[in-house]
């Protein structure tokens, strides 16, 4: 009887007690946490941290797959569970930080957009005052430039809409800088025209 | 049992207990906090140097091992070991620290190489743009390109901003897009102005001019030839060159005239149909030409039918050779403009019925063709400079290794 227990029942008991189960619940929870972090913008605003989290999740899945390939009694999911816990913990940390970073970036991008709009508007107003008939080619080129800058503002708006605040801010800054250059060019031309008119009057008086 | 025996037994028990406790204490795991902090600092450093982007394999290995070590710390593994044995957890932490340092160094080096590459490509692009702008101004064809020049400049400026923020991949993409726009502009210029470099077209223009000169010889009268690329008006008397004057053209002068308001100066064989003297024109003195002639009308109709020009456009007219209303006037709306002293000479030498031939160029090495060749070289130089950029990047990689 003792031999029957030893050679029949004991192995069965060992199999039942010794088989580890794949951490499917923890995997689902970790995947959910990573998805939430991605949705919150972690991939854009905390790219490195998010890459680390994705790496942990990938490692966990690889480890689970490797363990699943083994004989049931030899499976050990402890390492996989460590990765899943780490992924979930890191996701929670990133979720706590990314919102603030995103809002900061958004505010900066919106302000840059406003600054660019103001600069383009100034350039448009100066174009309206630009001396007609003097250097027509330069005037036509400046008009085309201002039209181009105005059109580029729509790209900034589109980037803001898409939540790509880095692209929006850098584009807006570039538009603002170029608008200032165009405005300076027109103001220089206006100044020359003013000087020329003064010279012309002086010459007319001499005649 | 005697008292002595009892005391000896008690002391033995105490000593054994003490040894047992001491032995166990010596074996209890305690990861040195400064070592843990050092590894955590490396973890943060790897995030700062963008380890996942610039050293993905090394970073993945570090994270893999770091997570495993942290798991062991939490599970309090390796609690007991003999004091004379090396602590496996401490050993692993030291190895992890070395791994982390190597990964951080690799990431930092590759990041620096990327920065150098982005910087070099941006500098090349900025130089290309400067040269391109200069050539466009030389041709007087800026208006042809519309909004594209400013869009290109905005992209290059954006690339500079992205580089300064450490967003090297994005900066490179912006440079790539700017380069593409530059190629679009080059193609547009070639489409509009390539005829200035076309030997057969230039030969046709030369023959037109030659016919006018022969007419002057045959009739013993004056004739005028205007070369747009050279911005030069030449007065012929009796088939001989008498004098040449620099001229100013329309604000889009070098283009082929298509419709009223396009700023182009027409090309073709015309005649002076009216002379407007002082008081009869706002431009001091003027010679009115018979533009549009039958060939101009034919071309205009074809272009309108093909949809190449706006349906509501007009062919225009009132093309003159005239003086200056204003000493500061730089271009015309399509006419040929001279200084007033020079228009005096031309006005006196010509009459109604004087032939005026306006051509694009008189030789293939004209200013527009040379500028187009320069633009093509700007594109070719990009490939050579790309190789130079690669050398800079590889040199920095060698220095860092």
Tens-binned pLDDT, residue by residue, of chain A (207 aa): 555 555 555 555 555 555 678 899 999 999 999 999 998 889 888 888 898 898 889 889 989 999 999 998 999 999 899 999 999 999 999 999 999 999 999 999 999 999 999 999 999 999 998 876 567 888 888 999 999 999 999 999 999 999 899 999 999 999 999 999 999 988 887 787 666 555 556 555 544
| Contact residues for A41 (Cβ-Cβ < 8 A; gap 6+) | A98, A102, A163
Tell me the C-alpha distance between B170 and B166, whole Å: 9
Residues with Cβ < 8 Å from A157, sequence gap 6 or more? A113
- Nearest-CA neighbor of A57 among A33, A22, A25? A33
Question: How distant is the Cα of A3 from the closest Cα of chain B, in angstroms?
Answer: 37
Per-residue model confidence (pLDDT) at position A206 = 47
Read off the tokens for A119: 């600069």
**Nearest chain A residue (CA) to B142:** A141
**B172 contacts B121 by C-beta, under 8 angstroms:** yes
C-alpha torsion sign, points A183, A185, A191, A193: negative
3-state SS, residue B281: coil
Q: From the CA atom positions of chain B, what is the Rg in Å?
A: 41
CB contact under 8 A, B147 and A144: yes
* Chain A contacts to B (CB-CB under 8 A): 47-49, 51-52, 55-56, 59, 78-79, 82-83, 85-86, 133-141, 144-145, 147-149, 151-152, 166-167, 170-171, 173-175, 177-178, 182, 193, 196, 200
Contact list in A for residue B331 (CB cut-off 8 A) is 135-137
Enter the DSSP assignment of B248: B
Task: Write the DSSP assignment of A29-83 as a string of letters.
Answer: HHHHHHHHHHHTTHHHHSHHHHHHHHHHHHHHHHHHHHHHTS-GGG---HHHHHH
- The pLDDT score that the predictor gives to residue B381 is 64
Long-range contacts of B166-173 (CB under 8 A, 24+ apart): B166/B115, B167/A166, B167/A170, B168/B111, B168/B114, B168/B115, B168/B117, B168/B118, B169/B114, B169/B118, B170/A166, B170/A167, B170/A170, B171/B118, B171/B122, B172/B117, B172/B118, B172/B121
Domain encompassing residue A74? 2-206
The pLDDT value recorded for residue B60 is 86
Which chain A residue has the Cα nearest residue B161? A170
Residue B365: how many CA atoms within 13 Å on its side-chain side? 0
Give the residue ranges of chain B where pLDDT is below 50.
27-29, 400-401
In this structure, the number of other CB atoms found within 10 A of the CB of residue A99 comes to: 14
DSSP-derived secondary structure letter, A7: I
Q: Which residues of A touch B47 (CB under 8 A)?
A: 48-49, 52
Total tally of structural domains belonging to chain A: 1
ipTM of the assembly?
0.77
Distance, in angstroms, between B250 CA and closest chain A CA? 8
Pick from B343, B144, B358: which is nearest to B230 by CA? B358
**Cross-chain Cβ contact A136/B70 below 8 Å:** no
* Terminal-to-terminal C-alpha distance of chain B: 78
B223 backbone dihedrals φ, ψ, rounded to 5°: -150, 155
Contacts of residue B286, Cβ cutoff 8 Å, sequence gap at least 6 = B275, B276, B280, B320, B321, B322, B323, B343
The separation between the first and the last C-alpha atoms of chain A, rounded to the nearest angstrom, is 138
Interchain CB distance below 8 Å, A170 and B59:
no
**Closest residue in A to B162 (Cα–Cα):** A170
């Amino acid at each position: 009887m003792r031999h029957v227990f030893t050679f029949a029942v004991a192995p069965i008991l060992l199999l039942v007690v010794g088989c580890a189960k794949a951490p499917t619940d923890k995997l689902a929870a970790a995947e959910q946490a990573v998805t939430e972090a991605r949705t919150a913008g972690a991939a854009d605003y905390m790219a490195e941290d998010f890459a680390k989290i994705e790496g942990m999740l990938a490692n966990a899945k690889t480890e689970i797959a490797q363990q699943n390939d083994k004989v049931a009694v030899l499976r050990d999911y402890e390492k996989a569970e460590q990765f899943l816990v780490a992924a979930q913990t890191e996701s929670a940390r990133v979720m706590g930080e990314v919102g603030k970073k995103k809002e900061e970036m958004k505010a900066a991008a919106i302000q840059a957009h406003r600054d660019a709009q103001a600069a383009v508007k100034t350039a448009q107003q100066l174009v309206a005052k630009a001396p007609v008939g003097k250097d027509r080619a330069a005037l036509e080129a400046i008009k085309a430039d201002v039209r181009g800058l105005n059109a580029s503002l729509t790209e900034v708006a589109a980037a803001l809409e898409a939540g790509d605040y880095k692209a929006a801010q850098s584009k807006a800054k570039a538009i603002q800088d170029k608008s200032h250059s165009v405005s300076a060019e027109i103001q220089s031309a206006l100044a020359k025209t003013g000087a020329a008119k003064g010279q012309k009057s002086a010459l007319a008086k001499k005649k | 049992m005697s008292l002595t025996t009892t005391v000896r037994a008690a002391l033995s028990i105490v000593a054994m207990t003490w040894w047992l406790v001491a032995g166990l204490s010596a074996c209890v795991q305690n990861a040195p906090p400064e070592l843990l902090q050092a590894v955590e600092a490396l973890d943060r450093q790897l995030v700062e140097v963008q380890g996942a982007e610039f050293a993905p394999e090394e970073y993945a290995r570090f994270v893999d091992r770091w997570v495993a070590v942290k798991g062991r710390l939490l599970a309090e593994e390796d609690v007991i070991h003999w004091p004379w044995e090396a602590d496996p957890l401490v050993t692993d932490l030291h190895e992890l620290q070395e791994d982390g340092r190597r990964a951080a160094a690799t990431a930092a080096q590759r990041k620096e190489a990327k920065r150098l590459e982005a910087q070099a490509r941006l500098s090349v692009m900025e130089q290309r743009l400067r040269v391109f702008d200069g050539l466009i101004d030389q041709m007087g064809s800026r208006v042809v390109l519309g909004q594209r020049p400013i869009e290109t400049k905005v992209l290059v400026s954006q690339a500079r901003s992205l580089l300064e923020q450490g967003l090297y991949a994005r900066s490179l993409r912006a440079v790539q897009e700017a380069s593409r726009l530059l190629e679009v502009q080059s193609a547009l210029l070639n489409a509009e102005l390539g005829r200035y470099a076309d030997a057969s077209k230039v030969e046709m223009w030369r023959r037109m001019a030659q016919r006018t000169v022969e007419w002057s010889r045959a009739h013993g009268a004056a004739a005028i030839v205007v070369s747009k690329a050279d911005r030069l008006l030449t007065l012929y008397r009796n088939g001989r060159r008498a004098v040449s004057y620099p001229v100013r053209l329309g604000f889009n002068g070098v283009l082929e005239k298509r419709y009223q308001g396009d700023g182009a100066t027409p090309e073709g064989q015309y005649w002076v149909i009216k002379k407007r003297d002082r008081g009869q024109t706002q431009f001091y003195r003027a010679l009115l030409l018979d533009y549009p002639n039958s060939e101009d009308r034919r071309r205009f109709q074809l272009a309108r039918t093909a949809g190449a020009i706006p349906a509501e456009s007009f062919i225009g007219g009132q093309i003159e050779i005239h003086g200056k209303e204003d000493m500061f006037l730089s271009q015309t709306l399509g006419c040929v403009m001279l200084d007033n002293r020079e228009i005096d000479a031309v006005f006196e030498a010509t009459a109604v019925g004087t032939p005026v031939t306006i051509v694009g160029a008189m030789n293939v090495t004209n200013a527009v063709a040379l500028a187009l060749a320069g633009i093509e070289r700007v594109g070719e130089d990009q490939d050579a400079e790309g190789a130079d950029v690669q050398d800079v990047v590889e040199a920095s990689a060698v220095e860092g290794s």
